[in-house]
């Protein structure tokens, strides 16, 4: 599924049908605003608090896509869009690390141990964040997961379960596609 050395790479976004009309009009915009309302603000602020200084974008200013169509179809919320993502401006993280961070973030108020777990999950999330160009060059898929190639430099994780594309800008070059499932 690797797209070679293309600068623009297809990625996929699954949404609830109630959000599809707005996406067709304005493109895919940061998740901090959906239907005019802020969402997940406290979680995004929490993640941004643990963001390394080398990463200059705030997660709340990003849009998110699945690199692999199969995961967008599994996450099928009713409508699916395909976008051409500029690999020079995007990043890749492991989507499962987002889920882990959300779980621990939601439990952080239950005690010091859960708070430390949430902080650790946020740090691991950011450590998995690599430039998309690097991902395209140094990772390969077995059809389900992504593995770092043997000759790859040290940067980045050795394994990415579900590749999630993070765009620190709105994405407007999209079109609706039919899910196979």
Q: Where are the domains of the chain?
A: 8-177
Burial of 62 (0-12, 13-18, 19+ CB in 10 A): buried
Per DSSP, the three-state class of 171 is strand
For residues 115 and 107, give the distance between their C-alpha atoms in angstroms, rounded to a whole number: 7
25-54: pLDDT as tens digits: 766 766 554 444 455 577 888 888 888 888
| Range ranked top by mean pLDDT from 44-58, 72-86, 118-132 | 118-132
What is the pLDDT averaged over residues 74-100?
85
Percent of the chain surpassing pLDDT 90: 20
Provide the β-strand partners of residue 64.
166
Give residue 2's pLDDT.
45
Residue 179: pLDDT band with limits 50, 70, 90: low
128-164: pLDDT as tens digits: 999 999 999 999 999 889 999 999 998 889 999 989 9
Greater model confidence, 89 or 23: 89
């Amino acid at each position: 599924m690797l797209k070679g050395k293309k600068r623009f790479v297809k990625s996929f976004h699954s949404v609830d049908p109630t959000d599809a009309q707005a996406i067709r009009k304005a493109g895919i915009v940061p998740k901090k605003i959906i239907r005019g309302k802020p969402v997940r603000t406290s979680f995004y602020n929490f993640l941004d608090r643990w963001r390394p200084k080398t990463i200059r974008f705030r997660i709340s200013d990003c849009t998110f896509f699945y690199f692999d169509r199969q995961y967008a179809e599994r996450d099928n919320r009713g409508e699916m869009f395909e976008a051409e993502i500029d690999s020079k401006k995007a990043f890749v993280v492991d989507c499962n690390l987002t889920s882990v961070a959300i779980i621990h973030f939601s439990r952080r108020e239950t005690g010091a141990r859960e708070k430390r777990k949430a902080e650790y999950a946020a740090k691991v999330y950011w450590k998995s964040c690599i430039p998309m160009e690097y991902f395209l060059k140094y990772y390969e898929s077995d059809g389900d997961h992504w593995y770092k190639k043997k000759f790859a430099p040290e940067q980045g994780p050795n394994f990415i379960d579900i590749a999630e594309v993070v765009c620190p800008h709105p994405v407007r070059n999209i079109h609706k596609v039919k899910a196979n499932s």
